[in-house]
Chains A and B, each alone.
Chain A
Amino acid sequence: MSDKEQKPLPGRRALLSGGAAALGLLVAPGIRLIEVAGASTTASPKVRWGLLVDTTRCTPECKACVNACNAENHLSGATAPTDSQWLRKVELKDKRTGRTASVPVMCQHCAKPACVDVCPTGASFKRADGIVLVDRHACIGCRYCMMACPYKARSFVHAEVHDQNPEVPRGKGCVEGCNLCVHRVDKGQLPTCVEACPNQAMLFGDLNDPNSALSQRLRTIATTQVRADLGLDTGVRYHGI
């Protein structure tokens, strides 16, 4: 696979905001924006956004994705149980063989998300394009979703928040987690972790499009879903674990 493939093209925003008449415009290979109408976009059920993490390219000392995530979403980067972590590195070791793997773990954007099933207010929801989000206007902070998530992907905000990124509102009393950089993806940009990875270990794209770079890669290398036995059908896939 050519790793340059998923680098966004310059001028993709100009194309977007210029209201490019082209429907189904190819913003970058594998990143297809359907229903581009004028300056506005809508999440399309034809798309399912997903990620492939190639852990063989991921080293334990590198935290570029985590740092980029923290910077983008204005997270403190602290890792106490009461601090928000949307993306964290987990070190895996096979005790019998001693083989290790360094694995970035975030919301797995399940097709059948347990967090959505248990949410009493409907705040936890899945967008038409597969991105799992918390609607914090409806979140009451009960944290059932945190209990239900097998990936420990969600955090509760324990203290007041200041200096938010205007595009990423967050505040005390709500549950939050990786949103696949929905504010960037809706503009035709890549999630910030994908863009930040110096080893191109992450590939973002449309799982539903057989021609996307992501689907092609998934066809050619062995990949796993973490806890596939739970049948949640995760949107994040891993290679090398």
Chain B
Amino acid sequence: MSLAAIARTLLLAAGLAGLAGFASADSRVPKPTIQADPANGTCVAPAAEMRRNHMDMLKHQRDKTLREGERGAKVSLNGCISCHAGKQSGSVVGSRQEFCESCHAYAAVKLDCFECHQPKAGAQVAKTAGGER
């Protein structure tokens, strides 16, 4: 385990403990795989808020973006993907190692988002499909 990974695990455990007051470092609750590089900036909201509210944030902003044409907002699905895509796969779904699925598999949440939305970060797709310019 790399230093960064250990630090992350500790951070996460501390976060969960703070949130729910039950988790400890050897908790049996699996932790999400977070590969987002903090160097790219912090999440759009504190982790505790993200865990609880990310679905509402996404659905709220989705309507704003699509119906009102509000672009460049803090919350965006493509934004989540650009930070949270796995380092190897470049994707947020596809296996339990990928960010969005790491939680959802455990919580039995099934998303249909990626039937339409590209789950890979922009640059990765441009390379293979060449549609982005």
Contacts and interface: CB of A to CB of B under 8 A. Distances in A.
B131 A161 contact: no
Given A125-B67, A166-B118, A169-B117, A71 B72 contact: no
Interface of A: 17, 38-43, 71-74, 125, 127-129, 133, 135-137, 160-161, 163-172, 174, 182, 186-187
29 contacts: A39-B72, A40-B70, A40-B71, A40-B72, A41-B69, A42-B68, A42-B70, A43-B69, A71-B130, A72-B131, A72-B133, A127-B68, A133-B66, A135-B63, A135-B67, A163-B125, A164-B125, A165-B129, A165-B131, A166-B118, A166-B120, A166-B121, A166-B122, A167-B78, A169-B117, A170-B116, A172-B115, A174-B116, A187-B71
A162 to B, nearest CB: 9
B128 interface: yes
Given A135-B67, A171-B115, A172-B115, A38 B72 contact: yes
B93 interface: no
Given A137-B62, A165-B131, A41 B71 contact: yes
Contact of A186 (B69, B81, B120): B69
B81 A166 contact: yes
Nearest to A43: B69
Interface string B67-97: 1111111000010010000000000000000
Contact of B125 (A42, A71, A165): A165
Contacts of A166: 78, 81, 117-118, 120-122, 125, 132
Nearest to A166: B118
Given A72-B133, A167-B122, 14 more contacts: A43-B68, A43-B69, A71-B130, A135-B67, A160-B115, A163-B118, A164-B118, A165-B125, A166-B78, A166-B120, A166-B121, A168-B131, A169-B117, A172-B115
Interface of B: 62-63, 66-73, 78, 81, 115-118, 120-122, 125, 128-133
B70 A165 contact: no
A140 to B, nearest CB: 13
A13 to B, nearest CB: 11
Given A74-B131, A127-B67, A41 B72 contact: yes
Contacts of A41: 69-72
B132 A165 contact: yes
Closest 3 CB pairs of A and B: A43-B69, A171-B116, A40-B72
A72 B131 CA distance: 5
Contacts of B128: 163
Nearest to B130: A71
Nearest to A172: B115
Nearest to B132: A165
Contacts of A17: 72
B118 A165 contact: yes
A156 B117 CA distance: 17
B35 to A, nearest CB: 18
Contacts of B71: 40-42, 186-187
Contacts of B66: 133, 135, 137
